[in-house]
Amino acid sequence: MIFDFDVFVIGAGSGGVRAARMAASEGARVAIADDRALGGTCVNVGCVPKKLYTYASHFSHDFENAKGFGWSVASAKFHWPTLVANKKTEISRLNNIYANLLDNSGAQIIRGYASLKDRHTVTVGGTNYTAERIVIATGGAPNIPDVDYADVLISSDEIFDLLEFPKRLLVVGAGYIALEFACIFQGLGSQVQVSYRGDLIMRSFDDDVRRFVDQEMRKQGIEMNYQSQVSNVDRQADHSLLVTFADGTSTEVDQVLMAIGRKPRLTGIGLEALGIETTRQGTIAVNDKFQTNIDNIYALGDVTGGIELTPVALAEAMTLVNHWYGDSTKYMDYNLIPTAVFTQPNVGTIGLTEHQALKEHGEITVYRSDFKPMKHTLSGSNERSFMKLIVDTTSDRVIGLHIVGEGAGEMLQGFAVAMKVGATKADFDATIGIHPTSAEELVTMRTAS
């Protein structure tokens, strides 16, 4: 059978674009379809704008900290519309870069929502396209609960472009996305409350990290409410929102950000009609070659329910295309994936938590350091940093590394390389620290805790 394309990619986010470009560079006839702006969640409503807003939010802390260094900072004013407009300009620039990258690779961009008609046919805007291989990379979307007041809630998709800056913000949820926005808006001048039905933030992270971040966020004035459940939200005459909680208490805010997780963006794609298997969580089931149960249809990125990080989707795309046109013996390695959380202060983590390490390795040695960074000896800030190493006692390998502090993500990348090649605690100890930096703490911890 002669197909219109060798590869048809549904979804032009990070993973989809990388798969399309790489396949096209191998000489394949490639099409990629999406009804949204190119770049997907990360570029448009995720990592990129979130990091830009994180930068913006840090200035308030910097202005305050500057006084201890002799600076007299005049009254600073934040103008929300300027940030929003400049962000839009930058995102538009990135959208154009993605379009140029795809065009230059030879991949054909098809605008519109794509759905599967059969195992070799994709329909976009009433037009059918056939392909030998089809890749589903549609990413995820914020999970908004099916409640009567859903229409007054906002998600992380909308929060970047609010017409008015929310002076009072309630964040529902305590995962990393929820906490990043809590810190962003506190830094920009909002009065921020966090509502979480559990007992402590950042459920999958190391317990010491969770407690430390909670402590540092409270220092900033963010109100942390645990075992808290929203029962109703009412729009009032002055356009404010009256939030009622399950325990009968209430609060009045300008916006309620619902950040309780994400779900795969698969509505209307046609999985059921083709009998493509999904997991209990509603994600697409794939094997280690990213194949669904229909062997010419593949899926990668957030829709498969794996680690929801842009670099992971990029690596999966490269692994997938390499299976087709290169070395089919190489598989995706999900071990020791570093990640950063851009709260204030930042979090960087790689490897196992203490609980996981005890379970998997039995005998471990733990090193902890809680200290005031040199910067804050003069700034007057009471912000502290925390670092933790978890070592497998038998092999001496460092199997967990956790940082809370300014620049944690930047610090972590180099240590991630070391851990990936099997660095031991002795290797860390033998490495000369860079002084004076916070990072040197990770190679000077000698006493187990």
Q: Which residues are catalytic?
A: 435
First to last CA, the chain: 66
Structure tokens at 150: 């859903």
Question: How are beta strands 255-258 and 168-172 bridged, if at all?
Answer: parallel
Number of Cβ atoms within 10 Å of the Cβ of 47: 16
Q: What share of the chain is helix, strand, coil (3-state, %, to 5)?
A: 35, 25, 40
Q: Which amino acid is at 202?
A: M
Spell out the alpha helix ranges (H) of 8-155. Answer: 14-25, 40-45, 47-66, 80-105
What gap in Å lies between CA 91 and CA 39, rounded to an integer? 9
What gap in Å lies between CA 444 and CA 442, rounded to an integer? 6
What gap in Å lies between CA 321 and CA 22, rounded to an integer? 7
What gap in Å lies between CA 261 and CA 385, rounded to an integer? 27
Q: Which amino acid is at 391?
A: V
Spell out the alpha helix ranges (H) of 106-250. Answer: 176-188, 207-219
The answer to whether residues 30 and 108 touch, using CB atoms and an 8 Å cutoff, is yes
**Dihedral angle sign, alpha carbons of residues 151, 154, 157, 161:** positive
Structure tokens at 285: 């089931």
What gap in Å lies between CA 357 and CA 203, rounded to an integer? 16
How far is Cα of residue 140 from the mean position of the Cα atoms in its chain?
11
Radius of gyration of the chain (CA): 24
Contacts of 447 (CB under 8 A, 6+ apart): 367
What gap in Å lies between CA 418 and CA 398, rounded to an integer? 9
Coil/strand/helix, residue 279? coil
What gap in Å lies between CA 21 and CA 273, rounded to an integer? 29
Coil/strand/helix, residue 224? strand
Please state the φ and ψ torsions of residue 94, each to the nearest 5 degrees: -65, -40
What gap in Å lies between CA 409 and CA 308, rounded to an integer? 17
